Structure 1
Amino acid sequence: MFKRLKFASFALAGVLAATGLTAATASPAAAAQTCPWPYVCFLDSNQNILTMYKDVGWQSTSAKTRTARWVTNARHDDCAYLEFGTGFIDQIRPGQSFGLGAGVVAINITSGCP
């Protein structure tokens, strides 16, 4: 039983590392409370906002954004797509927050959310 749990935790860590995401160590709700509407915010490990994006369309991110440990989407109806340095693209839905394990090099905020 312990071997299976140990393997599962290593497998999860590997998947998270490959996708640029990380296991949450702070509350996603705390990250969401600090980001004002209509922004997608990138925060440090202490929940301090580093950068905020609100324009629709693809944009390159700043060096400061690439050091972020959290992202939160405070928009009500719009999704954002995050491109990591590895080329992996992930979606963040309205009201969602999650931890980052790798730098986001570009963001695409869309009108609406499929």
Structure 2
Amino acid sequence: MKKITAALGLAATLAASTLALAPTASAEETCPWPYVCFEDGNGHIVTMYKDQGWQNTGSLTRSAAWVTNARHDDCTLLKYSSGFVDRLYPGQGWSLHSQVVAIDILSGC
């Protein structure tokens, strides 16, 4: 009986340590207000913007696979390498198929 109890205790300890190592969602993996976030293909944020006005993006933003606008009332303009400018509404996000070379966060929409 002692062997069974010891084995169950060991199994419970291993299970608890495995659970402690399991990945969990963190604030770094979700776009917090008041940011516009660019994420890689694994859903990890690579860059975040919150300042209004046109800003040129860096290589991390240009390599992003996804963009999310977590702002409540403000739209974001995204300028692509082709020169095309698109509007991202509050709470909206989408997959990127072209490099974003500049971003402008507007006050309102």
Normalised-by-shorter TM-score class: 0.7 to 0.9
Pick aligned residue for 1:79 from 71, 75, 78: 75
Aligned-partner Cα distance in 1 for 2:99–2:81: 6
Larger Rg: 2
TM-score by length of 1: 0.70
Aligned-partner Cα distance in 2 for 1:56–1:111: 7
Q: Which residue of 1 aligns with 2:84?
A: 88
Pick aligned residue for 2:50 from 49, 54, 58: 54
What SS is found at the alignment partner of 1:75? coil
Regions of 4+ moved over 3 Å: none
Pick aligned residue for 2:97 from 90, 101, 105: 101
Aligned CA-pair RMSD: 0.9
What SS is found at the alignment partner of 2:79? strand
TM-score by length of 2: 0.73
Percent same amino acid at aligned positions?
62
Aligned-partner Cα distance in 2 for 1:81–1:65: 14
Aligned-partner Cα distance in 1 for 2:48–2:57: 10
- With a CA cutoff of 8 Å and minimum separation of 6, indicate the structure with the bigger relative contact order: 1
What SS is found at the alignment partner of 2:55? strand
Deviation at 1:94, TM superposition (A): 0.2
Count matched residues: 81
Pick aligned residue for 1:37 from 30, 33, 37: 33
